[in-house]
Structure 1
Amino acid sequence: MLLAGKNSIRKTLYDVLSVKEDASYDEIRASYRAAILDSHPDKLQGKFNAFEPHHEIQERFLMVQKAWKMLGDINSRAVYDNELKASRQDFETADDVKIEEMTAEDSGEVLELYYQCRCGDYISVNSIELGEMGFSLEGNERRELQTIEAAPASIVLPCGSCSLKIRLILETNC
């Protein structure tokens, strides 16, 4: 299962350094140097304001360092690019399904949700799995989701018999 945050568009390490994904080593290095100066806590001392608290500046500085460590090395960059490509394929190949479109089966302790895949098999998720992801499933017929904690906006569920996936859209009634 692949989770997507509330902002399903996540910032990549290329975004952190403000470079294109096909940027050369020299472009990445130059952008890193500029970004590290713009985010270094010692350089910004006394410039903290209400719009960007100190801890956010430190987080940005650490992200710039992480981006350089990953993208500045040819081997780790290749691994990162492959992971980035794979994560994008998960979202590009998924059909969007709302929880109301799934068939529910209540065994008493666990509520199992099914969706029929194009191959004929079923894609499923149960109330225990949803609970582990921060959702409480209430009611068999209405299938209302209650947020337990910060939770994703969607979950990608693969079919066990073929390569197809669905993206289960999770709308909560907080």
Structure 2
Amino acid sequence: MLLDRYGIQETHYEVLNVKEDANYTEIRAGYRSAALSLHPDKLLKTPETSSSDQTTGERFLRVQKAWEVLSDSSSRSSYDNELKSSRRDRDALAAEVAEDLSLHDMIAEDADEALELFYQCRCGDYFSIDSLELQKMGYSLFREGSNISILNVDTLPGSVILPCGSCSLKARLVLSTDDH
């Protein structure tokens, strides 16, 4: 399973373009097809393909890894259990989140060296995070008047789960450089 910072990105089954209940023969056929289409020795070298060699090589390595895991019944069983568990965790987290927020939804207050961001929960308390915590995650904030935005435009979008200070509700703060 290939993970990004937001959850499951692409499963080994998707890499080989097979269903999760595929048998060994179907997995082998998917592997052979993917490997042949991506193998460095099979690709024609043109100026257009040389720029994508790195991504093709990375894709070929993902195909190899998927085959290693799915071709062995023991490692496939472990992988399937891990996949089910991560999906359960993701679904449980999604069910706990009361709402999605953006930087524009947050109330900002200056606090010493940091900028405190708040959003009122329906129980009356607040979801909160400060700019120092966000900076540790790679998000530098910029404040211009009442507008808050992410300073470094090369940062990937992400999200942070904020617990309420009093109740069990959580909010997801979606961080995107589109928030200007």
Query: Which consecutive unaligned segments of at least 5 residues does structure 2 have?
Result: none
State which drifts further: 102-111 or 92-101: 92-101
* 1:65 aligned onto 2:70: no
* 1:76 aligned onto 2:79: yes
**Which TM-score applies when normalising by structure 1?**
0.75
> What is the match of residue 54 of structure 2?
55
> What is the match of residue 147 of structure 1?
152
Greater Rg over alpha carbons, structure: 2
Check the 8 A contact 1:99/1:170 in 2, yes or no: yes
- Matches of 2:18 and 2:159, distance apart in 1: 29
Letter in 1 for 2:135: G
Check the 8 A contact 1:123/1:157 in 2, yes or no: no
- The 1:31/1:145 distance shift into structure 2, 3 A limit, reads same
Check the 8 A contact 2:121/2:127 in 1, yes or no: yes
Query: Which consecutive unaligned segments of at least 5 residues does structure 1 have?
Result: none
- Matches of 2:172 and 2:104, distance apart in 1: 13
- The 1:156/1:144 distance shift into structure 2, 3 A limit, reads closer
Matched positions, count: 168
> What is the match of residue 100 of structure 2?
96
RMSD over aligned CA atoms reads 3.1
* 1:127 aligned onto 2:125: no
**Which TM-score applies when normalising by structure 2?**
0.73
- The 1:15/1:71 distance shift into structure 2, 3 A limit, reads same
Q: Percent identity?
A: 42
Which gives a bigger RCO, structure 1 or 2 (Cα 8 Å, sep 6+)? 1
